Homo-oligomer: A and B are copies of this chain.
Amino acid sequence: MDEVKAILFDTFGSLVDWRSSVIAELAAWGQARGLERDWTGFADAWRGAYKPSMDRVRTGEQGWTILDDLHRQSLQTLLDAHGITGLDAAELEHLTRIWHRLRPWPDSVAGLTRLKRRFIIAPLSNGNLALLVNLSKFAGLPFDTVFGSDMPRRYKPDPEVYLGACAILGLRPGQVMMAAAHNYDLAAARALGLKTGFFVRPTEYGPGQTKDIKAESNWDIIAQDVEDLARQLGV
């Protein structure tokens, strides 16, 4: 581990609790408008559209589209399905940008603050840079810089995302650790030579979560959370 200079973090789910944040924002908005809906189901369906929407871009079915715009498209579909109409542009933007206002998990800020002392820390996320900058400010994530998907114009797990970040940091893949609560992300990073750090987020998808409830490989570090990752890295 001594050669690691930078740690790149998955963000949605790994550092911020998107689910409870999106549910709370939708519920508050619905209450203000006098709308009663299943906001938990709405939030889960919105996140459910995430991977398919990126896959359309990854396969070339849809041209390059930033995540904010994918979120807006899937939101519009869900609003229609829930019979919610007549939103003006500002309101639609306010809802789309719920993803800029997600709360951190309790250990994220403290763990990143410790890691920042010794390592370069940055998100390596499918979010676009503006989303990630706003989210980092909102949640208080003390990143040194930000890697969004709109510089490579690629979504994870495409190799260019991981290798592009290493190259621009002037580091070999072995000097960079990918840290995430998602096994697929670490598998993609390891295949390219990056170090890997796993921590579990057992309620990311709510109670009864079945995915990513444990490390599915012998990742270089397997931690309880970001503070434990810092502890295991000796900071």
Instruction: List the interface of chain A (C-beta within 8 A of B).
Output: 68, 120, 128-130, 132-134, 136-137, 143-146, 148, 150-151, 168-171
Q: Which residues of B contact A168 (CB under 8 A)?
A: 128-130, 148, 150-151
Q: Which of A144, A151, A169 has the most CB of B within 10 A?
A: A144
Number of copies of this chain that the complex holds: 2
A120 near B144: Cβ-Cβ < 8 Å = no
For the complex of A and B, the 8 pairs showing the least CB-CB separation, nearest first, are: A130-B170, A145-B146, A129-B168, A133-B145, A130-B169, A133-B144, A145-B145, A120-B133
Name the residue of chain B whose CB is nearest to the CB of A171: B130
Q: Which residues of B contact A146 (CB under 8 A)?
A: 144-146
Candidates B145, B169, B171; contact of A143 at CB < 8 Å: B145
Name the residue of chain B whose CB is nearest to the CB of A136: B144
The verdict on A133 contacting B68 (CB below 8 Å), with A145-B146, A146-B145, A151-B151 known, is no
The verdict on A68 contacting B170 (CB below 8 Å), with A120-B133, A151-B151 known, is yes
Please report the C-alpha to C-alpha distance between residue A169 and residue B68 in the assembled complex, in whole angstroms: 12
Please report the C-alpha to C-alpha distance between residue A53 and residue B130 in the assembled complex, in whole angstroms: 32
CB distance from A141 to the nearest CB of B (A): 10
Please report the C-alpha to C-alpha distance between residue A130 and residue B170 in the assembled complex, in whole angstroms: 6
Please report the C-alpha to C-alpha distance between residue A143 and residue B146 in the assembled complex, in whole angstroms: 10
Please report the C-alpha to C-alpha distance between residue A137 and residue B121 in the assembled complex, in whole angstroms: 11
CB distance from A124 to the nearest CB of B (A): 13
Q: Which residues of B contact A169 (CB under 8 A)?
A: 129-130, 133
